[in-house]
Chain A
Amino acid sequence: MAAGAGGRSAAEAYRPNRYVSLPAELDPAAYDASPEKRRAEAERLAIRSQLKRQYQLQLNDPHRPAVIEDPALIRWAYARTQNVYPTFRPTPKTSFLGAVFAIGPILFWISVFKADRDRKEKLIKEGKYKRPLSLF
Chain B
Amino acid sequence: MMAAAGARRVLWQRAAAQLRAGVAAAPRGARAASDLPKELMPGPYPRTPEERAAAAKKYNMRVEDYEPYPDDGFGYGDYPKLPNRSLHERDPWYQWDQQDMRHNWGEPMHWDFDMYIRNRVDTSPTPVPWHTMRKHFLIFLTTMLIMFGVGEMYPSYRPVGPKQYPFNDLYLERGGDPNKEPPVVKHYEI
Q: Which residues of A contact B (CB under 8 A)?
A: 13-23, 40, 43-44, 47-48, 51-52, 54-55, 68, 70-76, 78-80, 82-91, 93-94
Does B50 touch A at the CB level, under 8 Å?
no
Quick one: which of A13, A15, A54, A73 contacts B109, CB cutoff 8 A? A73
> Contacts A19-B130, A74-B36 known; A40 to B77 CB distance under 8 Å?
no
Given contacts A44-B65, A51-B106, 17 further A-B contacts (CB under 8 A): A14-B129, A20-B126, A21-B84, A21-B123, A22-B125, A40-B62, A40-B65, A68-B105, A74-B35, A74-B36, A78-B41, A83-B41, A84-B77, A85-B75, A87-B77, A91-B72, A93-B72
Interface string of B74-94 (1 = CB under 8 A from A): 111101000111000100000
Distance, CA A94 to CA B71, complexed state (A)? 12
> Contacts A15-B131, A55-B97, A94-B73 known; A86 to B104 CB distance under 8 Å?
no
Task: Tell me what chain A mostly uses at the interface: helix, strand, loop, or mixed.
Answer: helix
Say yes or no: A16 contacts B41, CB within 8 Å. Answer: no
User: Which of chain B's residues have a CB closer than 8 A to the CB of A21?
Assistant: 83-85, 89, 123-125
Quick one: which of A54, A72, A83 contacts B77, CB cutoff 8 A? A83
Candidate in A73, A82, A94 with the most chain B CB atoms within 10 angstroms: A73
Interface string of B110-131 (1 = CB under 8 A from A): 0101000000000111100111
User: Which of chain A's residues have a CB closer than 8 A to the CB of B103?
Assistant: 72
Say yes or no: A13 contacts B125, CB within 8 Å. Answer: no
User: Which of chain B's residues have a CB closer than 8 A to the CB of A75?
Assistant: 36, 40-42, 58-59, 79, 108-109
Quick one: which of A68, A80, A90 contacts B73, CB cutoff 8 A? A90
Closest CB pairs A-B (n = 4)? A89-B73, A84-B75, A55-B105, A51-B106
Quick one: which of B72, B108, B130 contacts A94, CB cutoff 8 A? B72
User: Which of chain A's residues have a CB closer than 8 A to the CB of B61?
Assistant: 47
Task: Tell me what chain B mostly uses at the interface: helix, strand, loop, or mixed.
Answer: loop
Q: Which residue of B lies closest to A46 (CB)?
A: B62
Q: How far is the CB of A116 from chain B (nearest CB, A)?
A: 28
Q: How far is the CB of A75 from chain B (nearest CB, A)?
A: 5
Say yes or no: A48 contacts B42, CB within 8 Å. Answer: no
Q: How far is the CB of B82 from chain A (nearest CB, A)?
A: 11
Q: How far is the CB of A16 from chain B (nearest CB, A)?
A: 7
Q: How far is the CB of B159 from chain A (nearest CB, A)?
A: 36
Q: How far is the CB of A77 from chain B (nearest CB, A)?
A: 9
Does B18 touch A at the CB level, under 8 Å?
no
Q: How far is the CB of A56 from chain B (nearest CB, A)?
A: 9
Distance, CA A76 to CA B104, complexed state (A)? 14
Say yes or no: B109 contacts A76, CB within 8 Å. Answer: yes
Quick one: which of A44, A52, A80, A90 contacts B97, CB cutoff 8 A? A52
